[in-house]
Structure 1
Amino acid sequence: MQKVFIVNFNSLYEILDEIKENLSFKIVKFENEVDLINNSDLDIINSLIILKNNNKLLLDNKIMEKNILNLNDLPLVLTKLLQLVNIKLMKLKFNHQSKININGYVLNINSKFFSKNDLDLKLTEKEIEIILYLNNTKTKHDIADLQKNIWGYSANMETHTVETHIYRLRKKISDLFKDEKFIMSHKNGYFIE
């Protein structure tokens, strides 16, 4: 769930806290910009920051303007505010998903291209799921695991879907990028190093 950090804006925090179970994001309150900047546990790049005053301190600390919603024009109807927040969060999520670096390749989830050295390979949705799953967990995954977690099949179902998809994906990568080792095979399953 994406987060919205409300900085030095207690009245807004209290209003949103009253309706938090109806929100599609989590709200976190900060008394000031310094408290936000000094909290190293936060994923600020993928979160939205709402404030009602000057944001120079945040910009000076390399926090992007795209992450800030400055509410200088008040009053604002609550539905309009929630609409602004949701649009900003969608843009942040879209930008975050747009490019993922994996072993020297760039996977663009939005355009479904897998790229390296000015070469682009168009992937299917399932191929993207396979790459992300193998990359995110960094362990070896056997066929039953992939059947269950990528396709939603029962582990005891007899099918060659996994092997076929992995074979085709490895062949596409090998043909274009001449890379035989992107998805590795081991007796314990498939993996990306």
Structure 2
Amino acid sequence: MLTQNIIVYKFLELYHILEELCSDLNFNILYADDKNILNDKLKNLDNYLVITNNKNLNINRQFVLNQTPISIYKLTEKINIEFLKAQFNNQSEVKVKNYIIDLNSREMLLKKIKLKLTEKEINTIIFLSKSNKPVSVDELQEKVWSYQSDIETHTVETHIYRLRKKILNTFKDNEFIISKKNGYQIK
């Protein structure tokens, strides 16, 4: 498990309280009183939460503690919830080629362009991206659609065709899913 780092920003009283309790908490406690110091600390951390007493930063993982006093139990509960949210958001993004697939919003993103996808389309993309060889229609039927491979159906081909067309229309990418003699592939 990654170390959970709390950076207390311009909230010295809270920093002293957390520092006293740090042996009982599962957090690494840091302090920053300047934006440059804060940015330097953030460069070296993957799993962090910035706690401030007023929202004055443009930081994703920020928790504003503006209702005090608060019990230490309630505070640690809120901190743990914020870390769980960050973990959930990190796990919900999958990188495929130059694209980000957001599993929560079911979107494919490239720069500021978004494409809405169905769950089947996402499952197809992720399955194809994990294979380093072309994936046959039968294998896609079995693994993504849960169909028996002996059933005659063109479901896979139809879905792949529509998915490729959506990607082409949105991103102008005709090479995302490649059709090979023995199946489909994302390189």
TM-score normalised to structure 1 length: 0.58
Matches within 5 A, 1:1-193: 3=1, 50-51=26-27, 54=29, 61-66=44-49, 88-89=83-84, 91-98=86-93, 100-193=94-187
C-alpha RMSD of matched pairs (Å) = 3.4
Q: How many residues align?
A: 140
Residue of structure 2 in register with 1:41 after alignment: none
- Equivalents in 2 of 1:74, 1:142: separation in Å? 58
Unpaired segments ≥5 residues, structure 2: 5-24, 32-40, 50-69
Shift of the 157–180 alpha-carbon distance from structure 1 to 2, 3 Å rule, reads: same
Unpaired segments ≥5 residues, structure 1: 7-48, 67-72
Shift of the 85–138 alpha-carbon distance from structure 1 to 2, 3 Å rule, reads: farther
- Equivalents in 2 of 1:117, 1:151: separation in Å? 30
Shift of the 176–50 alpha-carbon distance from structure 1 to 2, 3 Å rule, reads: same
Identical columns (%)? 36
- Equivalents in 2 of 1:5, 1:54: separation in Å? 11
Please say which of residues 112-121 and 164-173 is displaced more in the overlay.
112-121
> How far is the alpha carbon of 1:74 from its aligned partner?
10
Query: Which structure has the bigger radius of gyration?
Result: 2
Give the helix-richer structure, 1 or 2. 1
Where 2:92 maps in the other structure, the secondary structure is: helix
